[in-house]
Chain A
C-alpha cells in the first residue's frame, strides 16, 4: 500500500502557482526526501499535504484516502508534521506536558498519563522534562519534544520539514539516529524536506530533486550514494554538497 500518492499537484498561493505537476509515491514504511534550494516549492508540497496550503489542484491520497483541502482531525491521526525550528514550533507558555496533552484531547484518546510517559521515554527524554517549559530545554531537547508531539497520536506517516537544520552537528546526529530508530520500531513512513544530501543518504530510500516548483529527477538513495544522478541540476547540487577537503 502506498502511504502517499501525489499526482499532478499544482499548489498556488493566491495568483502565484508554486508547484507544477508534482507527482510522487511513498511506500508504506518508506522514507522519501524532497531536495532543492529555497523557493523550489519543496516545503509547499508538505504544506499542501498537511492542509496548510489549501489552494491546490491534482490528487493527494494518504493510505488510499483522498485528502481534503483543509485541516482535518481524522487525517491528523495518520499523518503528523515536524517543523524546522524547534524554537518556533513549541508554545512558549505551555509545559511539555501541556504540549503533549493537546493532540490527545483533540483526538479524544484516553490514558493520557501513560501515553505521555511512554512517548517521552521513546524520544529519549526522562520524566524530569515533563513539566518544563520550552525555554528550559536545549534545541535538541525541544526537537525531541516536537517529535514526541507528532508521534503521540501514533501516526503512520511523518512529514519532516528540515528537522535538523536549526541544530548543531552533534545534536543533529542524535536527532537523525532517533528518527531512524523510531521509523524502524514503528514502521513509520517519512516524507522529508531538506537541502542536505548527506542526510538524505543517511535517512532515506528515495529522493526527488525539485527546482522552480517542478520535480527534475526522482532517484533511489543508492544512486545518490554512488553519485549517479542523471539530471544536470541534481549533479550541480551533488557537487556542492560533496565534502571538499576533509
Chain B
C-alpha cells in the first residue's frame, strides 16, 4: 500500500453537557489507504461522529480536535468552510442512512445528481446529461432516462439509496464514507446496494469507510474492521480475523447474535461491568 489517503491521529469529538464536556470520540487513530475499512459499534459508540468529523460535519457546540487529520497531504483541521466545501463531495463524500430524509423532495432525481457534479466542475450541458445517465446505469437502474425525471417520493427505498450513491460517486471522490447505508432497507435489497458500492469502490480504486452496527455485513464487505465502544477502538483487525477477536466486547457482540442454526436456549448478554471501567 502506498502513502495513506487519510491519516487520523488522536481524534477527539467533544460535546458540552451540564456536568462538563463529554468526549464522544476519545482519541481515535487510524489510516486509510485505497481499501475498505469497516467501523462497527452500537448506538452511542461514536462511529457516526468519527465519519462526520472527517468531513467537518460536526455541528457546534460539538468540537473536533486531533493531533493529525490529514487527507492526501491536506490538513483538514486547518481548512475553513470554503476549503472544506472543495473537498466535501468532490474528494470525500458520504452516503447517509435514510434516502427518505437525505434526498431533496422537490427536485427530480436527475437534477439532484447533476447538481452534485455541477457544484464542483463546469461542464457542457450535454456532457452532464450523459454522465448522469451513465451513473444511473452504473448503480443498476434499468431505465435511467425515466428515473432521472422522477421525484424522490416516486421511487422505492432501495432505488432512493442507489440514487444517493450515484450522487455521491458522480464527482469521482477518493474516499466514500457510507454511514449505515442499508439499515433503512430490506434484507433482499441490502445485499444489492452493498454489491453496487463494493463494485464501484473496487473499480475506481477508492477508499471506503463503511459504518455499521452489523458485524456480519462489515466482515463481508470490508478488508479491515475497527470495533468501537464508548468512543474508543477496542479491536482493530482484518475482516477475516474477526471471528478470532480478542476483546470481550467484540466477542460479546458476536455471541449475542442469534444464528440460523440456533441451538442455544439463551443468548449471552454482554456484561458491561468487566471492562468498561478501563
Instruction: List residues of chain A with CB under 8 Å of any chain B CB.
Output: 37-38, 139, 168-174, 176-177, 180, 195-199, 201-203, 224-227, 236-238, 240-246
Contacts and interface: CB of A to CB of B under 8 A. Distances in A.
Interface stretch (B12-20, B112-120, B171-179, B186-194): B186-194
B262 interface: yes
A176 B258 contact: yes
Given A244-B219, A245-B219, A170 B262 contact: no
Contact of B266 (A177, A198, A240): A177
A3 to B, nearest CB: 23
B216 A244 contact: yes
Given A168-B42, A201-B259, A246 B254 contact: yes
A237 B260 CA distance: 12
B59 interface: no
A134 to B, nearest CB: 16
Contacts of B239: 245
The 9 closest A-B pairs by CB, nearest first: A173-B256, A202-B258, A173-B267, A198-B258, A244-B220, A168-B42, A201-B262, A37-B186, A170-B270
Contact of B213 (A139, A169, A197, A241): A169
A92 B109 CA distance: 36
Nearest to A37: B186
Interface in B238-265: 239-240, 242-243, 252-254, 256-265
22 contacts: A168-B213, A169-B256, A169-B257, A170-B42, A170-B256, A173-B269, A177-B267, A198-B257, A198-B258, A198-B259, A198-B260, A198-B262, A199-B258, A201-B262, A225-B261, A225-B262, A236-B188, A238-B260, A241-B260, A244-B216, A245-B220, A246-B216
B10 interface: no
B187 A37 contact: yes
Chain A, interface SS category? helix
A238 B265 CA distance: 22
B73 interface: no
A18 to B, nearest CB: 17
Contact of A176 (B216, B220, B267): B267
A240 B269 contact: no
Contacts of B263: 225
Nearest to A198: B258
Contacts of B262: 198, 201-202, 225
B215 interface: yes
A172 B270 CA distance: 11
B268 interface: yes
Contact of B260 (A37, A172, A173, A201): A201
A236 B214 CA distance: 20
B43 interface: yes
A136 to B, nearest CB: 15
Given A139-B43, A170-B253, A203-B258, 16 more contacts: A169-B42, A169-B215, A169-B256, A170-B252, A171-B42, A172-B256, A196-B258, A198-B260, A201-B261, A225-B263, A226-B261, A241-B187, A241-B260, A243-B216, A245-B242, A246-B243
